[in-house]
Structures are given as structure tokens and as C-alpha cells.
A and B are shown apart, each in its own frame.
Chain A
Amino acid sequence: MSDTRQDRNLKVHNPFRDLKVTELIEDAHLYRDMFSENILIGETSNIYLPGNVIVLGPQGSGKTMLLNLTRLPVMAEWLRTKRAPPEPLREVPPYFGISINLNRASFHSFGNISVAKALRVEKNPWLESIAAADFVTHFLFNEFIKGIELCCREDNDELRKWLGFDYSCLMDDQLAARIAEWDCWRGFYAGCDTWERLRSRCSKRLDYWKDFLRIKGQEPTWLWNDRPDIEMTMHSLGNLIRELGSGKQSKEKPSLFIYIDQYEEIKALSHKHSSELQRIINTLIKSRDPVVFYRIGARTYDWGTELRISGSESRIEVERDYSIVDLTSILRRREDRVGYIYPKFAADVARKRLERLENMDVSIERFQRVFGKWSAKKESELYYRCDNKKSRARAEDTIRGLPSAIMRQIIEICDNGEPGFALEMRLASAWALQKSQRGWSEGEICAGLSANPRPWHKQWWYKERKEIGLVQLASHAYSQRRYFGWDTLLYLSGGNISAFLYLCSEIWDTAAREGVDPLDEEPLDEKIQTNGIISASTKWQERDRNEPEGSRRYYAINRIGHAIRDSIRRDLALSNPGHTGFSIPKLSLYKEGDDESIRVRTFLHNAVNWAIVEERDHASKNGDGQPRLKYYLHPLISPYFEIPIKRVKEPYYSNLHEVYIWLFGGDEVKFGTDRKRTRLRKDR
């Protein structure tokens, strides 16, 4: 440990605060240092193999981080310093990766500024499409030229070796002259016999489009004849890359990868023409070019709304034209935990930050020890301490609502001076309340309480209710719920690497305020962890407000979140521990032409996209056999609303109309058992 750690203002040195994931992109050195190779296994490695790939996942799941490695400048940096590609990619054929950020390139403006109008002809979507395609073609060609120039840099010999490129071939102006003569250009680059001239002519065309987007371009009359065929052009570029990779065996010849970024923003920014613009991209994917492969990163539900190609009703098809890498399913915890790579990935990302920014060699295990282990008993002790008389007396408040004989028995059985006694009392009383509600007599309940093993210790009964019991204990104790432990951190981040880094950053900041260095503590005080986590939860909720459609989400989620919290607090019998989420029949959510269905579906999809809500398939247990989908608030905003983070048992079975009212109505939301209790009282 460096001597200077003691003296520094710790707040300034938060290794998780300094960089956001996206900031790494600007600096390929940093990217290389921070990139965790743990994620490059299994399905995600498809991103680096030939074939068209769509990477899906909510905001912050790491799509950009993964896709960035398909870009030549990033791979070049990797090879320059590490002299080899990342370990999991060493057997992968090389690729020459270029990219376009559609938003940055103002792609959405095509159509908003009409080419037909500039040409003084009737409005024609086809014209707008070919203009947009022309722009993209020349843009990508410009990126291609820049990529060749990068390969020509003297210090990029490893890159050339990896691609199988021969330096002297790249520099040859004859190559430029050959490119200029390609049929796909329809003569646009005729006479450009040097790389310099190619670049200059390409810049002219791009400058034309820039002027056009600034409403000062001249009439693009050349568009009738002089526009390149985008598919043919990309194919020609791909073939050229293959040819240049002559240093490689046939199976390992390089392909051309084209990364199309910000595809999903087209729809938000171009209401009238987004479909036509998306179809241009779809057409490229449909071509299933053997030497050119496209990568698109999109939020979970931003892909699939428009799958047609340009000028036809034909659609691109998954598995045929492209494959999907779904980060949600890859990184999400599954019940069997097989193939659950996220914990190692998250820990590795954290460790690399500490290594790079703090100049510290911190093992994954050491980092995990900072947070310690969570246990229900430990948490229970934070609300009511077994070695404190007053605390034990106050804990008896948690067993209200029962006849005094039952209460006495619970106290006798559970208040044994052992850690976790309060949770025992809460669970025992919940069990007793449940039985009481089912009509058991006092004697039967007392007998049941005394059974060995204790009925509330039954594996699933305990597991499903311990967290909600703890939430209630915290509430009874007028205490903030406490969050701590490595596993808790993983749960809270919900498989989202940005959420994980957010949590670490806030915990580090909170520790700094207390004058504590987290790496000196094993474990870090749970109060510090709690305060950091609460802060991260609040900020995660707030940051979404500024995202597209965030205002609406914020309003609706606040209504639902508070309703879930109230429902849980009141469920003293713990009858419905799973009512921290809700489910809807799938059919009703996807009803064609139904306004409520469209609005609810759109909202939930957006909420999933922006990592505010999680969605899973739900096998209904109510006997109707209907497929359902279940929804939970993202775990990271659970602390904000003081609701359990773990999903257990059955969610609240809702329906489309009810959810519609929650999201778009103005009345108070009644969630789960609250409503049922209201109904029971009314029936009497």
C-alpha cells in the first residue's frame, strides 16, 4: 500500500467516479486497461465472429464496451501494447472494423430535409432513402480510408500481422487507383489515382451532405446517376480486405466489420422517416454478404419494430440474416446459476479500475472482502440486538395482531438471546397470523409453533420470507433498511455493469466522507455501505428522469414503487412475499390495435430499455395456462422504495387494464394484498 494513501483527500480519489464506461471509448489505452476479458466467453464471443450480430441489452449493460472492441483503433491499441488480441479472441479470425454513429452523423436528418424538395420533384420516400444511403456509403468509405491509414502507421506492425496485411501493398497508390475504378462508384472517383485524391473526393461528397443538412446544399441532381450502390460498395470493400489479408490462411482471412451505433435513436429523432432510414440498415443486413458483417447495439426493445428492407415488404430474420446476443439473458442470474458469469465480470471490472487508477494490485477476493458477507441474522441484529434488553423489549412490537397467549409463546420460543431473534419472532408471528387467517384455533397455532423443526424454518417458507421480514423489522424499528455484502451488491446491480459501477462509486464516496478507505476495511462498515447504496439508488432513479421518456417513467414508477412498499409493510402475515412485482397475460399485452395494450406495452418496453424495470417470462400457476410476463422494478431502485430486492414466489397477478390505470391514471395505486384485504373486508 502506498504511503500517501493516508494523507490524501480520499474523496478526490474515487476510482469508480473518475470514468464512466462510455468515457473509456475516447481513450483506447484506457479501454484496453479497463476491459474485462471475463465477458468474452460463450455467446458474447459471437460478436467477434463473422456473421451479422445484434447486441441487445438495457442501458448500461455493456453493449458499447463490447462492440467497441470491433473497432480498428481499439484493437490496434490492444495489439500495440499487449502484442496479441484478448485471450478469448486469439482463435477468432481477424476483422477490419469501421463504424458509424448514426446520431452523431445526423442520419436522422435525412427525410426531415427533403431531397425531393431540393430537386423540385414530388415527395418520394425512395429519394430520401437513396440520399441517406449515399451519405452512409461515403461516410463508411471515409472511415475505411482512415482505417487503412491506421494500418500504415509504423508502430502498428502487430495490427498488420494480425490482419495479414503487407505494408508495401497498403501504401501502393495503384491500389487507390484500382479502388477508384470500381463499378460500384458509377464513376464518382474516376481519376483518383492516389489515396490523397480518393480522400479528397470523398471529403467533397461528405461536405456536400454537410451543407445539405445545413440547408445550403445545391440541388443534388447527380443523385440520379452518380450515387454508389451501398451493398455493392461494402461488398467490394470486404473483398479488398480479404485480398489484402493475403498473409493469412484461407479460413483466417480478415472480414470487414461495420459497427452501426445509435441505431435506436433514429426513431426518437425522426418521427416521419425513421422507418425508411431503418430499412436502409436492414437492407445491408439482408444482403448476408460473405465478407462484410454488421454489428448493431440496441436497447432491448429498440430492435425489432421495423424489420423490412428498403423497397420491399421482405423482412430480415433472426438466425437467418442475423443472430442476437442478448446481454440480459447472458448476465442475468438464473435459478440454476449455471453459466452465471456476471459476478466474475463485475469483480474483474472493479479490480482493473483499482489497478489502473489507484496503482494497486487488488485481487478479486480482496475486493469482495471489502463488502463482506450478508446474512439475515446479521441484518436482523442491526435492527434489534440480542444482547440489549431495551432492544429485545422493543422487538416484541413486531409480533402484534395476535392473541396474547400466542404472543407469549412466540417470545418464549424465539427470544432466546441468540443473534437474529427478532427475525425469528417476525417470521413466527407471520406464520401464526397466516394460520389464524385460515381459521386455525389458538391451541392449534400454539401446538404448531412448538413443533420441531419450527414450521417457519421450512426451507422454502423461510427463504421466500426472510427478506420481506427484514424489511418489516427495519420499518418497525424506524430504521433505514441496511444493505451490505458482496452478494447484495451483485443483486442490486441486476446484471448491469453500469449499475454496479454506480454502486461502487457511491460507496467509495460515502466512505471518503467518513474518512475511511474501503480497501483498509474488511468488511467496510455496513452503515457506510448502506448510505452509499441508498445514494446510488436515488441517483439511478433520478438519472432516468433526464433520459428520453424519463419524465413519464419517473412519475409512474414512483406511484407503483410506493404502492408496492405500502403493500409489503402491511402484509404482516407474509402471505404474498412475491408481491414485489406484477404479471400480465402476454396475449393482452400484445393485442393488435388495442390502445391500452399499445400504451402499456410501449411504457414497459421503454422501462426495460432504460433499466428501470426488469421483465421475465412467467409460468402462470393459476391454472389457465396462459403465458404471462412478470415485471419488477430494477433491483437498484428497490432501496429507494424500501422494497425487497430478491424475487421470490409468485408476483401479483394483475391484468392489462389495472396496469394501465397504475401507469396513466391519476388515482392512488393499490397494489397486491392491500386490494385483496380491501375486498375481504367488503365481502363481510
Chain B
Amino acid sequence: MPVQDELRRLVTGWQMRAIQHGGDDFAYIDTLDELLYFGECRFIDYVQFGDTGSFAVHLKDWLGNLDTEEEKKLLFKLLGWLTFVDKKQMQALYQDAFSRIVYPWIMMGRATRDDYMSPRHDIGVLERLRPYHFLSITLSFNLPEFERANNLQGLPEMRVLGEDEEVAQVVVQRLATTRDHGSGLIILEDFVGTGNQVKRVLSGIRDYVNEDWRCLFVPLIMLQSGMQNIEDLRREFPSLRVEPVLVIPDSHCVKETPMPDEPKEFIHFRSLVRNTARRVIQPLDASDDPPTNPFGYEGSGALVVTCHNAPNNTLPILHHHAPRWKPLFQRIHHARR
């Protein structure tokens, strides 16, 4: 039987029993239809699915991690809260980052009305951009894709700062001390969770930037819980402007302690995460860098997956491959040296 039909049979049974016994009005069948539809037209963008089977196969295996119907249903319901950023949405984020944040920052106070209206406007924008250095914090940000999405040609080669502040300092120092040291830094990153890493790296480079530089940091997706670190960063690094494109509120995250305004189902998801913690965060093998917290890095509890990867802030129950746990959206991690 095709795996989709197996899933339908499973979920139809849940729905029928829910109707018979009453008290559970969740639309299991409709949700499965939606997920399978997304599986074909959106989740298929998830790079890691590559040769490892369709979304439906992964879903079946993932639900198969648990034995009881109640637990499976809870795991299934969790997907109703998932934010999956597909390829086209990712491109839209790149475009929004540029049009709504980078571009006005470049033009602000430096462009006249005539500059805005000029037929040479697009050429002028590139000319204004060229003195800036484009960087990302990690390798996971797809800088070439960002350029393509925004039709940015002729810019200097984009660089990676890296997660190590000392390495980042060297990168910035080199840029600051070249003959034509440019006008500033435009730093991009695809996902910022708690902001600890970002704060560490960017605070670290503060003393290496030129006095006349302007600096902009644009995370595409950021968790609300990272905003405190961002506020600290703004204080410590006044010439750095920070503007996330999309902020995921705390109430959309399954954290260790309940958040105000979180959906009522999250209390059950929390229990599920705790009950499965031991299995989920077990290291797969020697090369694994398993999560230490079943609620994700620093307990972020995010329910976000992008087409490139699942961030480590996202609940490991979704992404970690353990000896007795199959993931739905397996995360690719990079081992620390």
C-alpha cells in the first residue's frame, strides 16, 4: 500500500474514534491532507530529504517512533504549529531583507528626491552598495542566493565572519585596514535563536570596526527570546543597527515554562517533549553532536524549519536522529573542531 494511503488509514481511524468518543474535535484528516499536500509542493524543498525518501515516508517513520495512539496524535498535532520556510519563501525573505531594510539604510539621509526618481536609480543603488562589505555570521546563510534574488551584481565578494569571535575579529580587521576600507558592514544571517552566538561575535568585532563605518545586521528569522541579547548588543555597539526580517514570538515556541498567550495545546506538547527526552537527545554515534536540552538550544522550543536545515533552537523531537528516534526534518550539524 502506498505510504500516503497507510497514513490516511491511520489518521482516519483516529478521526473516527475521536468522533465516537467525543471531546476531541481536532481535524486529523484535514491536517494530514494539508501536510501531504505541503509534502509534495513545499517540504520537498528541504535539502536533507534529497535521497532519503519523501516527506510521507519520513512522517510515517516519525509517528512510528511512539507506540500509543495518544502519543502519536500529540506528535501529529505538533505539526499544526510548524513554520516551514520553503525555497520561494526564503527567496522572499532575501528580497524583503534587501528592499525593506538594507536598501533604505543605504539611501537614508544620503539620497535626494532626484536620486530616488532617477532612471539610473538601480545603478546608483549598486554604486552605493559597493563600498560596503557583505558578511554573514555562519556558512548557512546563502549569500550567492541573496545576491541573485536581489539582482545585485558587481559587488565585492561576500565573506563569512564565523562563529568564533577571534576569527571574526581578524576578518574585520583586515577589511578595516585595507587601503579602500569602504563605508561599513552589512551582516546577514538566516536564523538567530537566543542571540548568544551573535552577541558574542558582533560584540567581539566592535573594537575593530572603523569609526566612520556604518554597520547593519539583518537576521532573516529571529526568535523573540533573542531580542534581549539584541538590545544588549545595540547598547554595546551603538553604530550597529539591528533589524530582523521576521520575528517568531515566544508564544509560538514550546519552551520549558509556559509563555503568556501560548496555545492551550502547548501544555501537552511540553509533556511529550519531556517524556521522550531521553530517547530523543541520545547521541547517534561518535560523530554526533547531540542536543543537550530536549527543548532545543537554551530551551528555545522553536518550531521552525527552513528549506536548508532545522536550526538547533528547534525542538530536537523534530530534527534529531537518535538510535531510537527517527527525525522528521533531520538536521545537519557541523562538528566543532
Contacts and interface: CB of A to CB of B under 8 A. Distances in A.
B20 A10 contact: no
Contacts of B180: none
A60 B5 CA distance: 32
A414 B6 CA distance: 42
Interface in B1-52: 1-2, 4-6, 8-9, 11-12, 16, 19-20, 29
Given A513-B29, A514-B9, A11 B19 contact: no
A480 B18 CA distance: 12
A482 to B, nearest CB: 13
Nearest to A7: B2
B2 A513 contact: no
Nearest to B7: A513
State which size class the interface on A falls in: 10 to 19
Contact of A11 (B4, B11, B12, B20): B4
Interface in A226-254: none
A548 interface: no
A515 B13 CA distance: 13
A512 B5 CA distance: 7
Contacts of A9: 2, 4-5
Contacts of A478: 20
User: Dominant SS at the B interface?
Assistant: helix
Contacts of A11: 4, 8
A174 to B, nearest CB: 53
Contact of B1 (A479, A480, A515, A531): A515
Nearest to A534: B19
A11 B35 CA distance: 14
Interface string B69-112: 00000000000000000000000000000000000000000000
B1 to A, nearest CB: 5
Given A9-B2, A11-B4, A513 B19 contact: no
Nearest to A516: B5
B8 A515 contact: yes
B3 to A, nearest CB: 9
Interface in A1-36: 7-11
Contacts of A515: 1-2, 5-6, 8-9
B31 to A, nearest CB: 13
A524 to B, nearest CB: 15
Contact of B8 (A479, A513, A527): A513
Interface residues of B, number: 13
Nearest to B3: A9
B265 to A, nearest CB: 24
Nearest to B32: A513
Interface string A488-519: 00000000000000000000000011110000
A527 B17 CA distance: 13
A235 B317 CA distance: 76
Given A7-B2, A9-B2, A514 B8 contact: yes
Contact of A10 (B5, B12, B16): B5
Contacts of B20: 478-479
Contacts of A480: 19
A481 to B, nearest CB: 12
Interface string A523-534: 000010001000
Contacts of B19: 480
B172 to A, nearest CB: 53
A359 B240 CA distance: 65
B240 to A, nearest CB: 49
A478 B5 CA distance: 28
A527 B16 CA distance: 10
A327 to B, nearest CB: 34
Which residue, of A11, A479, A513, A531, has the highest number of chain B Cβ atoms within 10 A?
A: A513
Contacts of B6: 515
B16 to A, nearest CB: 8
A311 to B, nearest CB: 55
A8 B2 CA distance: 8
A543 to B, nearest CB: 16
A480 B16 CA distance: 10
Interface string A360-403: 00000000000000000000000000000000000000000000
A512 B8 contact: yes
A479 B9 CA distance: 20
Interface in A430-489: 478-480
Interface in A511-561: 512-515, 527, 531
A625 to B, nearest CB: 48
Interface string A37-48: 000000000000
Nearest to B13: A514
B124 to A, nearest CB: 35
Contact of B9 (A7, A513, A531): A513
Nearest to A479: B20
Contacts of B8: 11, 512-515
A419 to B, nearest CB: 23
Nearest to A480: B19
Contacts of B2: 7-9, 515
Nearest to B36: A11
Contacts of A513: 5, 8-9, 11-12, 29
A3 to B, nearest CB: 15
B55 to A, nearest CB: 13
A424 B222 CA distance: 66
Contacts of B16: 527, 531
B12 to A, nearest CB: 5
Contacts of A531: 12, 16
A515 B16 CA distance: 16
A514 B12 contact: yes
Contacts of B29: 513
A479 B22 CA distance: 11
B130 to A, nearest CB: 44
A301 to B, nearest CB: 35
A527 B20 CA distance: 13
B163 to A, nearest CB: 43
Nearest to B5: A515
Which residue, of A10, A480, A515, has the highest number of chain B Cβ atoms within 10 A?
A: A515
Interface string A59-86: 0000000000000000000000000000
A514 B11 CA distance: 10
A614 to B, nearest CB: 28
B256 to A, nearest CB: 37
Nearest to A510: B12
A188 B2 CA distance: 67
A7 B4 CA distance: 11
Interface string A119-147: 00000000000000000000000000000
A515 B6 CA distance: 7
Interface in B151-166: none
A8 B16 CA distance: 25
B282 to A, nearest CB: 35
B270 to A, nearest CB: 31
Nearest to B15: A531
A396 B2 CA distance: 44
Nearest to B37: A11
A433 to B, nearest CB: 29
A200 to B, nearest CB: 36
Contacts of A7: 2
A14 to B, nearest CB: 12
Contacts of A512: 5, 8
A480 B20 CA distance: 8
Nearest to B8: A513
B259 to A, nearest CB: 33
Report, nearest first, the 8 A-B pairs whose CB atoms are least far apart. A515-B5, A513-B8, A515-B1, A513-B12, A9-B4, A9-B2, A515-B9, A514-B9
Interface of B: 1-2, 4-6, 8-9, 11-12, 16, 19-20, 29
Given A9-B5, A513-B11, A515-B9, 7 more contacts: A9-B2, A10-B5, A11-B4, A513-B12, A514-B5, A515-B5, A531-B12
10 contacts: A9-B2, A9-B5, A11-B8, A480-B19, A513-B5, A513-B8, A513-B12, A514-B8, A514-B9, A515-B9
